C-alpha cells in the first residue's frame, strides 16, 4: 500500500510540474517576477498537500515566527525532497535557492528553476562555485529575496552528518544578513532519492535568526552547525 500511494503521489507530482511549471515557462514573457514566484510557491504548497493526503505524511513545525524577517539566509538540513517543498511553501517570498547545476538539465523544470532566480553551482568547480554563490546571492538578497542554501551541500541519510560548507556563512557575513538554521527528520519518512514515502509526522525545528554582523564566516558556520546538530539529536529516528 505504501508503494502504491508513493507511486500515485509521484505521478501527480510529475503532472503538476508539467502543468504549473510548464505554464510558467510558456507564459514567462508576459508574467512579472512576482507572479512567477507566486506560481512556484503554489506548486510547492500543492505537492506538500498531496503528500499529506495521499501518503499520510504530515508535519509539526516549531519556530515559524523566526521567518518573519526578510531577507534571510536560510540553512536547512537536507535529507529528502520534502523539505524543498515545505520551505518553498512556508518561507517568505520571493526566494532564491542555491542548487546543483545538473538540475537545470531536467526538461521544463530546469527552465522553471532559472525563472525562479535560482543560483546553480558546479560543485566540482571549487572556489569558482563559491564566488558564484557570493555574487548571485548578494544580488538576490539586496533585491529582497530570501536565499536558501543547504550547508552540507547534498542529502545526508537520517542519523548521519555531512561536512558543513562555508558558502552560506560567507554570504551572510558579506551582506550582514541574518541566518536561520532549520532541523528536521524528513529522512525518516523517505528513502532519500527514491519514491517510497512512509506515513507519519515530520518534526521541524526552525531556529532563531543568527546575526552575522561582526563575525567571521567560521564563527557563523560553527553556530549554525552546533544548533542544527544539537536539535537533530532530539528528533525521532523512526516513523
User: What's 49's domain CATH number?
Assistant: 3.40.1130
Give one DSSP letter per residue of 41-73, joined into a string.
HHHHHHHHHHIIIII-EEEEEE-GGGG-SSS-E
d(CA 111, CA 104) in angstroms, rounded, equals: 7
Q: Does any domain span residue 65?
A: yes
Measured torsion, CA atoms of residues 122, 211, 155, 97, in degrees rounded to the nearest 10:
-50
DSSP secondary structure letter of residue 165: P
pLDDT value of residue 70: 74
> What is the domain range of residue 58?
2-232
Phi, psi angles (nearest 5°) of residue 195:
-90, -25
Q: What pLDDT, on the 0 to 100 scale, is given for residue 191?
A: 67
Q: Is 29 exposed, middle or buried (0-12, 13-18, 19+ CB in 10 A)?
A: exposed
Residue 237 lies in a domain: no
Q: Quick check: is 238 in a domain? A: no
For residue 205, the SS3 value is: strand
- CA 144 – CA 177 distance, rounded (Å): 11
d(C-alpha 62, C-alpha 101), whole Å? 32
Question: Domain for residue 201, yes or no?
Answer: yes
Q: Quick one: DSSP state of residue 179?
A: E
Residue 177 has φ and ψ, to the nearest 5°, of -85, 145
Global pTM? 0.93
With respect to residue 74, please indicate whether it lies within any of the assigned structural domains.
yes
Instruction: State the number of CA atoms in the 13 A half-sphere of 183 facing the CB.
Output: 22
Grouped pLDDT means (10 residues each) for the chain, 239 residues:
91 94 91 94 96 95 87 93 94 89 86 90 75 91 94 89 92 94 94 81 96 94 97 90
Decide: 227 and 175 in contact? Cβ < 8 Å.
Answer: no
Q: Does a structural domain hold residue 139?
A: yes
Residue 75: its H or E element: strand 73-76
CB atoms within 10 A of CB 97: 24
**Contact criterion met (CB below 8 Å) for 238 and 189:** no
Q: Is residue 239 part of a domain?
A: no
Number of domains in the chain: 1
Element (DSSP H or E) covering residue 38: helix 33-50
pLDDT at 111: 87
pLDDT computed for residue 140 by the predictor? 94
Amino acid at each position: 500500500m505504501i508503494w502504491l500511494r508513493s507511486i500515485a503521489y509521484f505521478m501527480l507530482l510529475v503532472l503538476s510540474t508539467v502543468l504549473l511549471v510548464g505554464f510558467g515557462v510558456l507564459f514567462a514573457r508576459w508574467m512579472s517576477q512576482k507572479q512567477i514566484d507566486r506560481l512556484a510557491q503554489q506548486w510547492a504548497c500543492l505537492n506538500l498537500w498531496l503528500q499529506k493526503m495521499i501518503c499520510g505524511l504530515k508535519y509539526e513545525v516549531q519556530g515559524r515566527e523566526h521567518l518573519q524577517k526578510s531577507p534571510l539566509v536560510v540553512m536547512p538540513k537536507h535529507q529528502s525532497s520534502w523539505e524543498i517543498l515545505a520551505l518553498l511553501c512556508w518561507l517568505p517570498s520571493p526566494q532564491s535557492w542555491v542548487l546543483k547545476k545538473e538540475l537545470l538539465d531536467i526538461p521544463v523544470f530546469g527552465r522553471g528553476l532559472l525563472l525562479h532566480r535560482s543560483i546553480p553551482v558546479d560543485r566540482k568547480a571549487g572556489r569558482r562555485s563559491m564566488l558564484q554563490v557570493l555574487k548571485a546571492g548578494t544580488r538576490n538578497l539586496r533585491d529582497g529575496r530570501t536565499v536558501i542554501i543547504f550547508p552540507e551541500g547534498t542529502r545526508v541519510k537520517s542519523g548521519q552528518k555531512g561536512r558543513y560548507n562555508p558558502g552560506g556563512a560567507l554570504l551572510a557575513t558579506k551582506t550582514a544578513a541574518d541566518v536561520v538554521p532549520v532541523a528536521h527528520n524528513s529522512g525518516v519518512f523517505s528513502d532519500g532519492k527514491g519514491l517510497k514515502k512512509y506515513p507519519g509526522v515530520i518534526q521541524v525545528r526552525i531556529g532563531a535568526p543568527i546575526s552575522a554582523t561582526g563575525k567571521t564566516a567560521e564563527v557563523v558556520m560553527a553556530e549554525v552547525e552546533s544548533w542544527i546538530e544539537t536539535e537533530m539529536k532530539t528528533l525521532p529516528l523512526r516513523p
